[in-house]
């Protein structure tokens, strides 16, 4: 019963087989191979737009390189106050931008509300020499709370940002999980909604180690080849990144993996939602569930071998009251590799309320 993260899963069989198939023969190095070219062509087809794209092996590299390409050292990058770029990347965005300042905006369920973005933009006027200059809005889709922005919500935020002269980045570490939950296309959830640069994740959804930085305006990508190389993120045997991304995208594999992951989460969330002693502070919209559990249930689950992480409760993010003294706040994540029987067993333990059968 492993619900710790979607990167506790291995890689999908099809992607591993593609890596093995890519092992044949001699191919050009440093991303000039035909597999990488094919992956980038597939991305252009899927996004219905010309793309200048770069494959890297971690999401942190993708985010930091993307932000570094569009934010000057004296820039401000606005993001949700719990964003991965803010809390979980060891200052990589600050390092790759040469010192830009991340400005966190709190908001319900991991989402930035337009009404909260406006005053922050007003606080950072352009041209005021003593302050960092507004440069970038970074939005996470799926958010760190497992929620998603609708395409209209994205467009509203990116319009405000563009009107203020900002560029917009999307941290799409779980882009596929968001996409399959929405009635929209990859184009509608990205450039049509005003996203300028996208970190397109694949690792959490079944790749071995592969993410892409996608620029919808090639002029913005000019510094990327150099930044990627000098930061040590240009793989010499780039074919293996190309192979992963190609297999991920071909035949809708990525959508199938994300649909499976989200389906497990939905079932788990529905089951938890039926237990009166359990509260979900916001809805499960992709493949992550956040829940407030009684201690007794948490203990019984742990004793039965369930694995998941306690989570920090931010009052500004939740509509429900904070965990009481006899409760814990936890995060549960499903993946394409989640076993339906593990969901069943977990829910059965929860239903027994932490009381051991006699
Ligand atoms: C996992 C994750 C990343 C990428 O993390 P890496 O561990 O560097 O691959 C980026 N953004 C979000 C929201 C994530 O959940």
Q: For ligand 1, pick from 4, 6, 59 the residue to mutate: most ligand atoms within 8 Å of CB.
A: 59
Cβ–Cβ under 8 Å, residues 146 and 176: no
For the stretch 247-270, pLDDT in tens is: 999 999 999 999 999 999 999 999
Which residue from 244, 255, 256 is spatially nearest to 38, judged by alpha carbons?
244
For the stretch 272-323, pLDDT in tens is: 999 999 999 999 999 999 999 999 999 999 999 999 999 998 877 777 788 9
| Ligand 1 contact via 58 beta carbon (within 6 Å) | yes
Instruction: Pick the residue whose CA is nearest to atom 2 on ligand 1.
Output: 173
Cβ–Cβ under 8 Å, residues 210 and 253: no
For the stretch 58-77, pLDDT in tens is: 999 999 999 999 999 999 99
> What does pTM read for this prediction?
0.97
b (16+ CB within 10 A) / e for 193-218: bbbbbbbbbbbbbbbbbbbbbbbbee
| Ligand 1 contact via 59 beta carbon (within 6 Å) | yes
Residue 319 pLDDT: 72
Q: Which residue has the tokens 């977990």?
A: 346
Residue 346 pLDDT: 97
Judged against a pLDDT cut of 80, whether residue 357 lies above it is answered with no
Q: For ligand 1, pick from 60, 141, 206, 213 the residue to mutate: most ligand atoms within 8 Å of CB.
A: 60
Please give the domain boundaries of the chain with CATH numbers for all domains. Answer: 13-251 (3.40.640.10), 254-351 (3.90.1150.10)
| Ligand 1 contact via 172 beta carbon (within 6 Å) | no
Which residue from 207, 255, 209 is spatially nearest to 15, judged by alpha carbons?
207
Cβ–Cβ under 8 Å, residues 69 and 220: yes
Instruction: Pick the residue whose CA is nearest to atom 7 on ligand 1.
Output: 59
Rounded distance between C-alpha atoms, residue 82 and residue 143, angstroms? 9
Q: Which residue has the tokens 């899927």?
A: 46
CA of 84 to the centre of ligand 1 (A): 7
The CA dihedral of 47, 6, 269, 112, to the nearest 10 degrees, is -60
CA of 340 to the centre of ligand 1 (A): 25
Residue 355 pLDDT: 67
Rounded distance between C-alpha atoms, residue 224 and residue 153, angstroms? 29
For the stretch 153-166, pLDDT in tens is: 999 999 999 999 99
| Ligand 1 contact via 288 beta carbon (within 6 Å) | no
Rounded distance between C-alpha atoms, residue 98 and residue 172, angstroms? 23
Which residue from 139, 209, 221 is spatially nearest to 175, judged by alpha carbons?
139
Judged against a pLDDT cut of 60, whether residue 331 lies above it is answered with yes
């Amino acid at each position: 019963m492993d619900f710790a993260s979607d990167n506790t899963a291995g890689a999908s069989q099809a992607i591993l087989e593609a890596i093995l198939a890519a092992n044949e023969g001699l191919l050009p190095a440093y991303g000039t191979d035909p597999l990488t070219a094919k992956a980038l062509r597939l991305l252009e087809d899927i996004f219905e737009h010309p793309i200048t794209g770069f494959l890297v092996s971690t999401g942190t590299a993708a985010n930091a390189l993307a932000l570094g390409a569009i934010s000057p050292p004296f820039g401000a990058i606005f993001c949700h106050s719990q964003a991965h770029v803010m809390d979980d990347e060891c200052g990589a965005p600050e390092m790759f931008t040469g010192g830009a300042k991340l400005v966190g905006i709190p908001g319900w369920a991991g989402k930035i509300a337009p009404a909260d973005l406006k005053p922050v933009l007003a606080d950072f006027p352009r041209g005021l020499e003593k302050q960092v200059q507004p440069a970038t809005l970074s939005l996470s889709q799926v958010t760190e709370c497992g929620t998603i922005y609708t395409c209209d919500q994205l467009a509203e935020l990116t319009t405000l940002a563009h009107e203020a002269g900002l560029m917009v980045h999307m941290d799409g570490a779980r882009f596929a999980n968001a996409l399959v939950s929405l009635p929209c296309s990859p184009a509608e959830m990205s450039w049509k909604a005003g996203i300028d640069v996208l970190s397109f994740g694949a690792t959490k959804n079944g790749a071995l180690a592969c993410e892409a930085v996608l620029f919808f305006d090639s002029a913005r990508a000019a510094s990327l080849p150099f930044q990627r190389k000098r930061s040590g993120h240009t793989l010499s045997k780039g074919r293996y990144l190309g192979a992963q991304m190609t297999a991920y995208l071909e035949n809708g594999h990525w959508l199938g993996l994300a649909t499976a992951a989200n389906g497990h989460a939905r079932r788990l969330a529905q089951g938890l939602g039926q237990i009166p002693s359990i509260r979900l502070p916001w809805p499960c919209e992709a493949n992550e569930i956040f829940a407030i559990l009684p201690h007794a249930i948490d203990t019984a689950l742990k004793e039965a071998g369930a694995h998941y992480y306690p989570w920090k409760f931010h009052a500004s993010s939740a509509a429900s009251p904070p965990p009481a003294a006899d409760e814990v706040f936890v995060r549960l994540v499903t993946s394409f590799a989640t076993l339906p029987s593990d969901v069943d067993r977990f829910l059965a333990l929860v239903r027994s309320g932490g009381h051991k059968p006699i």
